[in-house]
Structure 1
Amino acid sequence: MISDDELYKLAIFLGSISMVLIVVYHFLEVNSQDKSAAAVKKAS
């Protein structure tokens, strides 16, 4: 059976990983180029 200390460490680890992934996702989303705007620029 998992002890309370192991469960605490696992929860902290998984929570930290999820927060890092959320921050990375938002960073990539904000800095991505809009495909429709890129298509309009190419057509001009």
Structure 2
Amino acid sequence: MISDSQLYTLAIFLGSAAMLLIVLYHFLEVNSEDHAPAQKPKAVPGRVKS
């Protein structure tokens, strides 16, 4: 049978691991290439803007 102190240690460990994985996921999601700001199209040489 699992003791109260083992259960407490397991809960703290799993909760901490879950929080670290959530932070890692959000860090990777924010820095992914899909969310890079769109660049403005460059002007074509020889065309006059009106």
TM-score range, shorter chain: 0.7 to 0.9
**TM-score in terms of structure 2 length:** 0.67
Tell me the number of residue pairs that the alignment of Structure 1 and Structure 2 aligns: 36
**TM-score in terms of structure 1 length:** 0.76
Runs of 5+ unmatched residues, structure 2: 38-50
Identity %: 72
Larger Rg: 2
Structure with greater proportional helix content: 1
Runs of 5+ unmatched residues, structure 1: 38-44
CA RMSD of aligned residues (A): 1.6
